[in-house]
A and B are shown apart, each in its own frame.
Chain A
């Protein structure tokens, strides 16, 4: 169906492409560790000089939350997916992809999976190990249920982020250049997704907006499971499923409409 088995070729290709730049990997790990240590030192300083509870949340939980959110940036789909599609549209090579027996969305997703595998093995795991080795990162007890829920929640957030980035890529049919839209999306992700600081700390007004936005489903929801922070929505995973459904259907129609409208620019 949809040529998923054929999509495997894209998966393998993107994994191999990433493998070519092995030197980069160590520097990226270094970058990730720097990001983690900034948050570590910041929150350690805050923890030492204030009470251990902020708005009823333990500083250690917040520290874990922000550290993991900095690491998620490396694997959540974003730039890569957007330019995968927008480059094809701008250059006109999308005409070739449309002839292929793989649905364009499947190939984009498989391409992203390849990077996910690569980045998890070569960037995420080493960064976490190094951070644990050099910084004394707090450990909190997470039971197996929470961990499984995190897995499920992360999978959903991954797919939602993929759908949104894909959609921005499709926008390039109308805008030409989508750099600006992407910048805008990332800003919203920072504010309402809680990728900088947990949404639970926001003033009520901003919390309300964040709750009803799709952005919190991407960062906030999965991270709450592993950092013991309350996710003040009743059924966070159900909400994620809804957003995923909404964005998938939107994309489905948008892509169909866009392609009918597309005039391939010669290639």
Chain B
């Protein structure tokens, strides 16, 4: 465990060093990322100039949903973005490199690189979530804050699980770029309350645990509900991640180097 921690420290250090290679571009890019997250937020703001609610959710509730999903995704995006490169690594054979090292291949894949590009997005969504937590009086309520942290942890895991499964498909079908593309599109579905969608679509979003990355946790936090759903939401992420690990292990067993 300690070895993994040290390794992770070095990975992070390297990531920040490589950041400064293209300093100018990094600064503009971070600002751009904040701006594009801001643009989505801006469109919500405009929308609510004209409407009272969307799918039964008021302005601040939708903002909270938006902030929460952005935060969960940004955390995943910043720290585990490297899993998106699995397909390329399997195709060009550089995945073999991981296997020759004496640590878990999954650990290396997930944490080898940090995506500093999304740090702007991370800060923006964190700030927005903070404002919402204050607004809904969750911030000073210890129990609710703990619940929030639990939910966020579970959501990040759920996010990672979805993307891990999709990327692990490259052990079988090699090229997963387009499936990734679809999953990115689905990401957008959950920025709005899923109650605006027809029933069949809602079921799909619960099954692929996207609904647990935003809709369920946020509505539970807002209504301060204490139902079975709280526990379901708390364990949805870890369960999904375990499933993803199973898929990963199956894939590893199946893996044959392309030999290139």
Contacts and interface: CB of A to CB of B under 8 A. Distances in A.
Contacts of A144: none
B43 interface: yes
Given A35-B188, A191-B42, A175 B24 contact: yes
Contact of A187 (B26, B32, B55, B186): B32
A190 B192 CA distance: 18
Contact of A34 (B38, B179, B189, B192): B189
Nearest to A23: B178
A184 B70 CA distance: 18
A175 B25 contact: yes
Interface string A22-57: 011001101100110110011011100110001100
Nearest to B186: A34
Given A41-B196, A181-B25, A181-B28, A54 B178 contact: no
B31 interface: yes
B39 interface: yes
A249 interface: no
A46 B49 CA distance: 12
Interface in A170-202: 175-188, 190-191, 196-197, 201-202
A266 interface: no
Contact of A186 (B31, B32, B188): B32
Interface in B10-57: 21-22, 24-33, 35-36, 38-40, 42-43, 46-47, 49-55
Contacts of A177: 22, 25
Contact of A31 (B24, B29, B185): B185
B36 A197 contact: no
Contacts of B197: 41
B196 A180 contact: no
Contacts, number: 117
Nearest to B40: A196
Contact of B27 (A30, A49, A180): A180
Contacts of A185: 32
B117 interface: yes
Contacts of B50: 50, 54-55, 201
B137 to A, nearest CB: 27
Nearest to B184: A31
Interface in A193-222: 196-197, 201-203
B198 interface: yes
A174 B9 CA distance: 32
A186 B25 contact: no
A180 B52 CA distance: 36
Nearest to A196: B43
B1 interface: no
Interface in B145-198: 177-179, 181-182, 185-186, 188-189, 192, 196-198
Q: Which 9 A-B pairs have the closest CB atoms?
A: A180-B29, A184-B32, A183-B32, A187-B35, A187-B36, A190-B39, A180-B28, A27-B178, A180-B25
21 contacts: A27-B181, A34-B186, A34-B189, A35-B188, A38-B192, A41-B198, A42-B192, A180-B22, A180-B24, A180-B25, A183-B28, A183-B117, A186-B32, A187-B33, A187-B36, A188-B35, A191-B38, A191-B39, A191-B42, A197-B46, A197-B47
Interface of B: 21-22, 24-33, 35-36, 38-40, 42-43, 46-47, 49-55, 117, 177-179, 181-182, 185-186, 188-189, 192, 196-198, 201
